[in-house]
Chain A
Amino acid sequence: MSELRQSVVVQRMVKRYGRVAAVDDVTLEIERGEFVTLLGPSGSGKTTILMAIAGFVQPTSGDILLDGRAITRLPPERRNFGMVFQGYALFPHMTVFENVAFALRARGRPGEEVQRKVVEALDLVQLSPYAQRLPRQLSGGQQQRVALARALVFTPHLLLLDEPLSALDKKLRADLQLELKALHERVGLTFLYVTHDQDEALSMSDRVAILREGKLVQFGRPRELYERPATRFVADFLGKSNFIAGTAQGGDGGTLAYSAGGLTLRQAVAGAPPAPGAPILVALRPEKIAVVADTPPDTANAVAGRIAQWSYSGTHFQLLVDTPAVGRMIATVPAWRCRIEPATGATVHLGWDPDATVIVAEDASADSPH
């Protein structure tokens, strides 16, 4: 089996539609058995990349490699990739059994083998009792599982999933996320998943590739992306972030001092700090802010402000705080240890440590905000 688990490489792929580049020079290396997610808003090119790997989109330039061999010109029916489509694309006139058997029958496998493999695949997704039903007689979640079984039954080189959970309701989606991850571990196949849902991407993937306007912005493990976003876009798209624009002053002992809104703030740096006078952009996660009522906190960074708005969601409070120094900040505080009584107009102090923030780059683009 293991020699069938190929690694896929997207090499300098470009896809233009007229003058618009849907995918603009993207390189991705996916390892055997990995669960990789392409994450981005609509129009980021993620689906185009998936379709190019599947063979339905011909790249304008660049190559798709499977195990080091270019398959860019190979038609989809000869790639041996399983695919789960957004609307499942089950064959409505065939029973569940026939849907799953389709790939084996197309390959002219003997009846005994078809029977055995289809039963195995249906067992894998716990749908054996439904073999003789038609797709329209199944729930959305069950149809989803049929689509999975159908795409796995012929032991494909890899499994491509195009927003497979987007048509389901929230509760079912969460269940199926866990199931998909478990399935990935059981079959050990390379999964390439496309979604615009950051929660899905973070909770299931080994690695996530973040795309924006056809370009690959950052590719890494979920935790790494969340904790150390490379650009403003990544910090903003994966979860929420406050942004503080400042000017570097000087660094010593792994800490950089920078000025923002008349305050001096501190930022932990690993390598060489930015030169004094250079503009920097710092991202700060709302949950990394400590909120206290009376005296400034004893953290390295402290900013005072007034609560403009607040909301309660059971697990936490979300506060919108207007500060004279760094503008409006969002802070989320776990409800069970919130040390203040939120009230609109109340004065609060926000505090955070130098290693709570991260320096990010502005995204290079004509229409990025400045």
Chain B
Amino acid sequence: MTADRLAQVAIRGYLALFFAYLFLPLGVLVGAAFNASRYPTLVPWEGLTGQWFADLLADRLMGEAAWNSLVVGLGVVAVSVPVGTAGALVLSSLHARARTLLYGFLVSPILTPGVIIGIATLIFWNRAFGVPGGLMLTVVAQSSFIAAYCMLLVLARLERFDRAQEEAALSLGASRLQVFRRITLPFLAPALYAGAFIAFLQSFENFNTTLFVVGTDTTLPIRLASMVRQTMSPSVNALAVILIATTVAAAAAYEVLRRRGR
């Protein structure tokens, strides 16, 4: 066996291990969702069942948490996309020094630990203004850093924008508002859709920030955490299967649409 061949085998072996590390837990998790055992486990296999999915659908609290997550997610999208876009527009119109400064300021929420953002939001709004923890405050807390992601996406797109298009539109007699609506916005559209998508996902899976500001309400990740802590029901696995399937389907749909658009 030559050294080359040895290296090849080693690389393949490493890859196999790597993918096993990534996907084996998911495989076990998905398998356990269909096992009739009362515990979330693959062995011993006690027979195929849809019981845990039925349990899940019957769980009113879970339904409520899912609904809350959806509402918060849409709320975050509604706040983060406009705020992030505005930030990106301001940034792209600034010059060197001011730009670097403001950029650092706007991106800093991404670098701040989620826990800190959660606590800070709670203290600021609750102590100072008496706003109670809840879905409303969750939207505010999550948006404070998710808006930065939207800003980065829009900013990246703006870098490729030919500003002469805006000048052309102005020279053709369009007002500043018309220029934004008919030239800038259509150009930014893909970044806005991507931003909305990412904002929603970020919001939907957020746990650590949400924990501090959600009050007596509950979102899906919060509900999941408490379920895992209290009992070990395979319906948690069933939920995971649904989330994985939804995510994969959404990603595939996005890719198909994107390819058709080009």
In the assembled complex, B187 has its CB within 8 A of some CB on chain A:
yes
Query: B41 → chain A, closest Cβ, in Å?
Result: 54
Question: A89-B162, A93-B186, A106-B178 are known contacts. Are A154 and B167 too (CB-CB below 8 A)?
Answer: no
Asked if A102 meets B187 with Cβ closer than 8 Å, knowing A85-B164, A87-B164, A89-B164, the reply is no
Q: Determine which of A77, A85, A103 lies in contact with B175 in the assembled complex, contact meaning CB atoms within 8 Å.
A: A77
Residues of chain A within 8 A of B172, CB atoms compared: 82, 102-103, 106, 150-151, 154
Query: 25 A-B residue contacts at CB 8 Å?
Result: A55-B170, A56-B167, A56-B170, A77-B173, A77-B174, A77-B175, A77-B176, A78-B173, A79-B171, A80-B173, A83-B168, A85-B167, A86-B164, A87-B164, A89-B164, A89-B167, A90-B165, A102-B174, A102-B182, A103-B173, A106-B169, A106-B172, A106-B174, A150-B172, A151-B171
Residues 14-67 of B at the A interface (beta carbon under 8 Å): none
With a cutoff of 8 Å between Cβ atoms, the chain B residues found around residue A107 in the complex are: 173
- B167, B172, B173: most-surrounded residue (chain A CB, <10 A): B172
Q: Which residues of B contact A89 (CB under 8 A)?
A: 162, 164-165, 167-168
How many residues of A are in contact with the other chain, CB < 8 A? 28
B183-203: CB near A (< 8 Å → 1, else 0) gives: 100110000000000000000
Chain A residues near B176 (CB-CB < 8 A): 77
A13 at the interface (CB under 8 A from B): no
A residues adjacent to B (C-beta < 8 A)? 54-56, 75-83, 85-87, 89-93, 102-103, 106-107, 150-151, 154, 160
Chain A residues, CB < 8 A from B182: 91, 102
Known contacts A91-B183, A106-B175, A106-B178; A76 and B170 CB within 8 A of each other: yes
Contact at B168–A85, with CB atoms within 8 Å? yes
The 7 closest A-B pairs by CB, nearest first: A89-B164, A103-B172, A89-B168, A106-B174, A83-B171, A77-B170, A76-B170
Which B residues are in CB contact (< 8 Å) with A83? 167-168, 171
Q: Check A87/B162 contact, CB under 8 A, given A77-B171, A102-B172, A106-B174.
A: yes
Nearest neighbor of B178 in chain A, beta-carbon distance? A106
Contact B175 A76 (CB under 8 A): no
Within the assembled complex, what's the spacing in Å between the Cα atoms of A56 and B170? 9
Asked if A76 meets B171 with Cβ closer than 8 Å, knowing A89-B162, A89-B164, the reply is: yes
In chain B, residues 149-166, which have Cβ atoms closer than 8 Å to a Cβ of chain A?
Answer: 162, 164-165
